[in-house]
Amino acid sequence: MIPIEHFVLLSAALLCIGLLIVIIKKNAIVVLMGIELILNASNINLVAFARYDPSIQGQLFTLFVIIVAAAEAAVALAIVVRVYSYFKSSDLDRIKELKG
Amino acid sequence: MENSMNHLQDIPFTPLAYMAMAVLLLPLLSFVVLAILPQRWKRPAIALGILFSAINVLLGSYLFSQIWEAEAVHARTQWFSLSLLDKEGPTFTAGILLGNLSVLMVMVVTVVAFLVHLFSLAYMASDKGIKRYYAFLGLFTFAMLGIVLSDNLMLIFCFWELVGLSSYLLIGFWYQKDTAVAAGKKAFLANRIGDLGFLMGLMIFWAYFGTLDLEVLHAFQKEGNWPTGELWLTVAGIGIFFGAVGKSAQFPLQVWLPDAMEGPTPVSALIHAATMVAAGVFLLARVFLLLEVDVLTFIAYTGAITAFMGAIAALYQQDIKKVLAFSTISQLGYMVMGMGVGAYGASLFHLLTHAAFKACLFLSAGAIIHVLHGLEKKLGEDGIYIDPQDMRSMGGLRRYLPTVFITYILSAFALIGLPLFSGFLSKDALLTGAALWGMEQGGAAYLVPLLAFITVALTAYYMGRQLLLVFFGTSRMAPDSDKVAAVWQQSQPLPWTMKLPLWVLALGSTAFVFSLNPVDATHSWVLQGLYATLNSANPLSIGYKQQMSIVAQGHHYHTFISLISVGLAIIGLYLSYRRYGAKKNPSKGQLVEGERAAPFLAKLSLNNWYLDTIYDKVFVRTVLFKSKTLQNFEVRVLDRFIDIFAVSQVVLAHAVSIFDRWVVDGGVNVTAYAVGLVGKWSRSIQGGKVQSYFLWVLMGVVLIVLFFLF
Amino acid sequence: MELYLFYVFAALALVSALVIIFTKNVLYAAFALVLTLLCIAAVYVYAMAPFIAVIQIIVYIGGVLVLMIFGMMLTNRLSNKSLLTEHHYIPQGLVLTTALFVLIYKALSGVNFSGLSWMKEGFAPAEDNIQQIGVYLMSDYILPFEVAAVLLLSALIGALVLSQRKERYP
């Protein structure tokens, strides 16, 4: 059995890397990749702790997370394509209609 | 005084008393109506005023017929009472006293007032303020009747002041003229000086007797409660006499009357000949029995001096009205002198005759001025300028104004005191009284009859001069006589409203109206009626004693005295004829020239004994000097202090403003700028960039985790 | 042996995740993500969830990443140049993420997992629990399962509507 701390540390590292990607990348698609990484980091935690649960709820929850992530990715990419056709750019810092 | 209370009981009003109230209040009603009615109704308003005045004459005549030589009527009611703490305080009463004296004065006032009302209709026709004029006439008549009818000195004083006010209003009627305003002011001030004395006299009487009711005062005297010989009573008498000095234009306060001629001429006839100036004499008659011997002596001297001074001042006047004004002063001096020597009846008789003939003279002069004023404009078109009041530009008017000539000459003869005219009777009686008094007192007292007799000659001289200058000779209006005739062709004839008063008053200047015997007044109905008012007096009263001695001894000297006075009058007339008579007939140029090279007497006369100059130097200059000193103090000290204070305030204000601008405003600006910076910075957070929001959220998460960990 | 293989995969996942950060080329990033997700699938296997690992490979690598690469192509101007991306907020992001990682590490180091009671009593799941998952999905989790189906359908329709070229909604 691989100790639980390793999974948790890996998930923490991936979470921080995902966050960093989300913050520093200008391209919307890469930002979406960062979000996927964050979701995967949480999935690792869920799956790892499901080992100690007879009803394996963690695994089932991970399943739903993956489903939602897929739906999210589809819709988000559609939005990105739509935004691109409107602004002629997929750089997030060019899209600032909400500027105060 | 213990018995004063029962003296002050209310006396019910009888129908006659009510009628007297009506006579009193009708002119007030006239005043109110004229004051209220709008300007565009001025014609009916004036007609109403004249109507009221006519009704007043009728009522006055009825009163006269009921009261004269009949029982006197006295009605009285409580006016107001002063309560001192819980004790009943002094009570003031008001009432009407109708006796021979009152109704005679009522007749004088109402008749002259009515005639003046009538005369003014034409005289003031072209004046814009005619409605105001008639209103003031009503007010004046009311005040004058108030003096005449009141039964106590307090009320008399109130009406006295009202007379002063309405006189002021009428003298200054043409308020656009500075001289008229100044004359009104002068009259008012001179009267106030006299009124101060009057008020003092009233206070002393009040302090002694606790009442000012004339009947009660007379009753005190009769009961022997009168502290004769007290110094304070002498002072009170002189004080009240000072009131008369102011109103009746006696020396030294006579300076206001010549200036008062600035008012409309009918007003001069009413106020400054017949009524207001006579009020002083009337007041003396009211208190005659209460006066001390020293007071009477003082009055006699003052009157004689005034008569003489007035006559001298009238000698060389050029203004037709000024001559009459000084003549009035002189005649009033006679009346006052008469009161002083105890010739009570003669004095009031002279008041009556003087009211008639002097009013006639003034109205005649008014008619002349009215006509000449009309001509002045026509002559002015041809480049000839005349003063319608200057006798030097008159002459020969008997041909052009025959009516005025006749009335003028009748009333002038009355004034001079020629036999068959009213003035002769009254002046004769006065001179007799003066002569008897002089003989009785002896020594310096002879000065009084001496001055009185000299004044007779002077009066004849100045009136003769006036008649000659105005009516005789040829006209001096324009250089060539054709021109004068042409101008007179255009003049308007006198309206009947002017002629009627002249004729009525001229008739009143004849002796027959007053006495059946035209050369002896001893038995005239007027004198008899006036003596009757003294019948109820205390026989110990000094005035009464003197009057009785005159009555008793007068007829011994009467013929002698009347011969002297007529002789003096003829001498005066002759002298004036020699100087201004038909043969000499001086031209205007000669008159002006003669004035320049005038002897000392003429200068004295023209300047009214330099009284105005002396008063100006002594009183006015002093006051001005004081005010100048005060002004200097004000400017140099007070104003400078205030200036310094103000400058320091301004400096302080500047300092405060700098502090405000740099410190307070700076603080505010820095705060605002800092807030602006914070605002700019915080706005930059809302950059519309998703990732920057995310950064902030992440930072919040880190901080929360930190918080939970440690 | 098992532990070392786990380390290899974990390290590979982290390295390829870091590649996503460092590269500017979006396509490289996508391929690095493929590697990361594959490694994570392997990690699932070591966490005794083979079904999840398979689903991970099918859904992510077969679906999501293909979608992403299509998105890249649709948002490119079809030139010879490759699609590049810029970086920004690097210092802030680095500081914050490092701080978060340090904090999580500190928090984890303070926890004694083996001392927890539910961990001691923890069961060893079967190597093959696919049947168990199927039973659960069809029984206890039938409602979330159906809702997930509807969600996927609506996401499909939504994506279609959104990516239409025609300007239906101005």
Whose CA is closest to B468, among B457, B460, B477, B456?
B460
Q: What is the pLDDT of residue B419?
A: 87
Query: How many Å lie between the alpha carbon of B664 and the closest alpha carbon of chain C?
Result: 41
Compute the average pLDDT of residues B351-357: 92
CB contact under 8 A, A23 and B695: yes
Q: What is the pLDDT of residue B157?
A: 93
Q: What is the pLDDT of residue C80?
A: 66
Least confident of A68-77, B226-235, B493-502, B641-650: B226-235
Answer yes or no: is pLDDT of B6 > 60: no
- Amino acid found at B79: W
Of C89, C93, C103, the CB nearest to B705: C103
Answer yes or no: is pLDDT of B644 > 90: yes
Least confident of A40-44, B199-203, B211-215: B211-215
Q: What is the pLDDT of residue B610?
A: 84
Taking the alpha carbons of B132, B134, B139, B143 in that order, is the dihedral positive or negative? Answer: positive
Residues of B in contact with A96 (CB under 8 A): 687-689
Q: Which residue has the higher pLDDT, A100 or A16?
A: A16
Answer yes or no: is pLDDT of B5 > 70: no
Residues of A in contact with B685 (CB under 8 A): 100
Report the residue of chain C nearest B707, measured CA to CA.
C103
Whose CA is closest to B421, among B409, B433, B430?
B409
Please report the domains of chain C, with CATH numbers, ordered by start residue. Answer: 2-119 (1.20.120.1200)
Compute the average pLDDT of residues C97-125: 79
Answer yes or no: is pLDDT of B288 > 50: yes
Beta bridge partners of B93: B78
Answer yes or no: is pLDDT of B3 > 60: no
Q: Which residue has the higher pLDDT, C144 or B72?
A: C144
Please provide the average confidence, as pLDDT, over all residues in chain C.
85
CB contact under 8 A, C75 and A84: yes
pTM assigned to the model: 0.67
From CA B29, how far away is CA B22, in angstroms rounded?
A: 10
Compute the average pLDDT of residues B191-204: 92
CB contact under 8 A, B698 and A100: no
Instruction: Give me the DSSP letters along B40-85.
Output: GGHHHHHHHHHHHHHHHHHHHHHHHHHHTTS--EEEEEEEEE--BT
Q: Which residue has the higher pLDDT, A53 or C7?
A: C7
Answer yes or no: is pLDDT of A60 > 70: yes
Compute the average pLDDT of residues B146-155: 91
* CATH level 3 topology of A4-87: Helix Hairpins (1.10.287)
For chain C, the helix, strand and coil percentages under 3-state DSSP, each to the nearest 5: 75, 0, 25
Residues of A in contact with B679 (CB under 8 A): none
CB contact under 8 A, B691 and A96: no
Choose the mutation target among C92, C162, C164 for the interface with A, i.e. most A CBs under 10 Å.
C162
Q: What is the pLDDT of residue B584?
A: 61
Residues of A in contact with B698 (CB under 8 A): 19, 23
Query: How many Å lie between the alpha carbon of B673 and the closest alpha carbon of chain A?
Result: 20
Report which secondary-structure segment, H or E, holds B91.
Answer: strand B91-98
| DSSP three-state, residue B510 | strand
pLDDT band for B208, please (50, 70, 90 cuts).
confident
Answer yes or no: is pLDDT of B14 > 80: yes
CB contact under 8 A, B691 and A93: yes
Q: What is the pLDDT of residue B4?
A: 47
pLDDT band for B567, please (50, 70, 90 cuts).
very high
pLDDT band for B111, please (50, 70, 90 cuts).
very high
The CA–CA distances, whole Å, from B301 to B80, B142, B334, B462, B678 equal 39, 33, 10, 23, 104
Query: How many Å lie between the alpha carbon of B679 and the closest alpha carbon of chain A?
Result: 12
Least confident of B2-16, B420-434, B623-637: B2-16
Answer yes or no: is pLDDT of B676 > 90: yes
Report which secondary-structure segment, H or E, holds B654.
Answer: helix B640-659
| CA–centroid distance for C122 within its chain | 26
Least confident of A91-95, B570-574, C20-24, C125-129: C125-129
Query: How many Å lie between the alpha carbon of B698 and the closest alpha carbon of chain A?
Result: 9
Q: What percent of chain B has pLDDT over 70?
A: 96
From CA B501, how far away is CA B497, in angstroms rounded?
A: 7
Q: Which residue has the higher pLDDT, A47 or B475?
A: A47
Of B683, B687, B691, the CB nearest to A23: B691
What does residue B73 show for φ and ψ, rounded to 5 degrees?
A: -115, 130
Q: What percent of chain B has pLDDT over 90?
A: 38
Q: What is the pLDDT of residue B597?
A: 61
Whose CA is closest to B100, among B75, B74, B72?
B72
Q: Which of A86-95, B7-16, B195-204, B547-556 is the most confident on average?
A: B195-204
Least confident of A13-27, A67-81, B605-619: B605-619
pLDDT band for C169, please (50, 70, 90 cuts).
low
Q: What is the pLDDT of residue C120?
A: 67
Report which secondary-structure segment, H or E, holds B92.
Answer: strand B91-98
Least confident of B16-25, B603-612, B644-653: B603-612
Q: What is the pLDDT of residue B2?
A: 43
Answer yes or no: is pLDDT of B331 > 70: yes
Compute the average pLDDT of residues C90-96: 89
Q: What is the pLDDT of residue B7?
A: 59
**pLDDT tens-place string over residues B442-494:** 888 889 999 999 999 999 999 998 998 888 887 777 777 777 777 777 777 88
Q: What is the pLDDT of residue B160?
A: 93
Beta bridge partners of C12: none
CB contact under 8 A, C40 and A44: yes
Compute the average pLDDT of residues B6-28: 85
From CA B264, how far away is CA B243, in angstroms rounded?
A: 25
Compute the average pLDDT of residues B94-102: 89
Q: What is the pLDDT of residue B452?
A: 92
Contact B59, B141 (CB under 8 A): no
Q: Which residue has the higher pLDDT, C30 or C129?
A: C30
Q: What is the pLDDT of residue C125?
A: 60
The CA–CA distances, whole Å, from B617 to B292, B611, B620, B624, C7 equal 35, 10, 6, 10, 134
Locate tokens 């006239």: which residue?
Answer: B30
From CA B419, how far away is CA B422, in angstroms rounded?
A: 8
Of A26, A75, A82, the CB nearest to C86: A26
Answer yes or no: is pLDDT of B252 > 70: yes
Compute the average pLDDT of residues B282-307: 91
| Beta carbons within 10 angstroms of residue C87's beta carbon | 15
